[in-house]
């Protein structure tokens, strides 16, 4: 999934695609953001190496071993339908087009191949994003590996910066006693900036990038949750909204409407089942003691 900037410095954050701090933060909280060695090594072990061809393995190994910066974003737990989560993860262009409709993002994301997207904005960022491996499961027990490369040419840096990054997104789901599913999502990023760019970033805006990256991931997860809850409550409205995404391919727009309608039906069934269980419990509690 591509993450768009939500505050100043967003263009560079998009280029580095949620990158990392070179300074380790506290590792005591497993949900907290970190740039620590233990998290980095655990993430490297979790990369689905067997699903990569020899060339991809060499590329990913080089970036992860020589990364200028590593960061694990703060782990987030959201109220979200697993199928909705998967749809948005598999179709990031839907997210960016919705953000543009909302006026919160100027990122253009164009699908140029089955697993590849071209990205650009009006602030000097351009690049590509490729899904190297993606295991999407109905219960959102997912592992997704993404490779990004791009350049940024704009303020406050005096010269163009190029970077390559590897992103590892992992998610899981659980069902609460109410029957509602919740998604846990974790994103690790390894970023290799060109030598001149690494020095410029370190001296100028690395703290801003780190803050923006964490914020972007958190806000993206909030958006995904809001999208799911809106689909649950207003599937017909989401169908109308899908028709407005003119730059998204028609089959994807149709799929969005279908996913939203199916989510609404599932949540209606969950609500009815939960209500029945409450009635049954109340009835048992009212039975006279013999």
pLDDT, tens only, 170-188: 999 999 988 999 999 999 9
Is the predicted pLDDT of residue 104 greater than 60, yes or no?
A: yes
Domains and CATH numbers, the chain: 10-225 (3.30.530.20)
Q: Give the pLDDT of residue 210.
A: 72
Q: Which two tokens stand for residue 265?
A: 């039906």
Report pTM.
Answer: 0.85
Is the predicted pLDDT of residue 24 greater than 60, yes or no?
A: no
Is the predicted pLDDT of residue 14 greater than 50, yes or no?
A: no
Minimum mean pLDDT among 11-20, 25-34, 160-169, 234-243: which range? 11-20
Q: Give the pLDDT of residue 195.
A: 73
3-class SS at 76? strand
Where does the pLDDT of residue 108 fall: very low under 50, low under 70, confident under 90, or very high at 90 and above? confident
Is the predicted pLDDT of residue 168 greater than 80, yes or no?
A: yes
CA distance linking residue 138 with residue 64, whole number of Å: 29
State CA 191 to chain mean position distance.
Answer: 16
Where does the pLDDT of residue 162 fall: very low under 50, low under 70, confident under 90, or very high at 90 and above? confident
Q: What is the mean pLDDT of residues 272-281?
A: 65
Q: Give the pLDDT of residue 20.
A: 29
pLDDT, tens only, 85-103: 999 999 999 999 999 898 8
Sign of the CA dihedral running 283, 285, 288, 289: positive
Q: From residue 151, how far is each of 7, 120, 210, 264 by CA, in Å? A: 19, 10, 18, 41
Q: What is the mean pLDDT of residues 248-254?
A: 96
Question: What length is written for the chain?
Answer: 290
Is the predicted pLDDT of residue 124 greater than 70, yes or no?
A: yes
3-class SS at 289? coil
Complete DSSP assignment for 80-94: --HHHHHHHHH-HHH
Q: From residue 53, how far is each of 42, 132, 206 by CA, in Å? A: 21, 9, 33
For residue 30, count other CB atoms closer than 10 A to its CB. Answer: 10
CA distance linking residue 221 with residue 155, whole number of Å: 28
Q: Give the pLDDT of residue 200.
A: 65
CA distance linking residue 49 with residue 220, whole number of Å: 27
Angle among Cα 42, 43, 47 to the nearest 5 degrees reads 120
């Amino acid at each position: 999934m591509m993450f768009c900037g939500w505050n100043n410095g967003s263009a560079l954050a998009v280029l580095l695609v949620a990158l990392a701090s070179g300074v380790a933060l506290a590792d005591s909280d497993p949900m907290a953001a970190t740039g620590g060695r233990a998290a980095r090594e655990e993430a490297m072990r979790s990369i689905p190496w067997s699903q990569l061809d020899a060339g991809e393995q060499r590329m990913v190994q080089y970036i992860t071993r020589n990364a200028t910066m590593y960061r694990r974003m703060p782990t987030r737990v959201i109220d979200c339908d697993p199928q909705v989560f998967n749809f948005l993860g598999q179709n990031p262009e839907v997210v960016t087009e919705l953000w543009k409709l909302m006026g919160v993002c100027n990122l253009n994301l164009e699908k140029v191949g089955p697993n590849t997207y071209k990205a650009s904005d009006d602030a000097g960022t351009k690049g590509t994003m490729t899904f190297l491996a993606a295991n999407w499961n109905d219960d959102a027990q997912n592992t997704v590996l993404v490779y990004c490369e791009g350049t940024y040419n704009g303020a406050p840096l005096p010269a163009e910066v190029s970077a390559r990054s590897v992103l590892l997104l992992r998610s899981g789901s659980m069902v609460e006693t109410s029957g509602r599913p919740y998604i846990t999502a974790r994103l690790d990023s390894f970023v290799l900036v060109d030598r001149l760019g690494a020095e410029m970033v370190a001296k100028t805006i690395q703290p801003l990038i780190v803050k923006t990256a964490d914020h972007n991931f958190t806000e993206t997860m909030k958006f995904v949750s809001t999208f799911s809850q809106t689909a649950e409550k207003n599937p017909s409205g989401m169908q109308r909204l899908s028709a407005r995404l003119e730059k998204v391919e028609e089959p994807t727009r149709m799929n969005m409407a279908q996913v939203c309608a199916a989510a609404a039906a599932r949540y209606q069934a969950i609500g009815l089942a939960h209500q029945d269980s409450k009635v049954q419990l109340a009835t048992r509690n009212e039975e006279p003691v013999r």
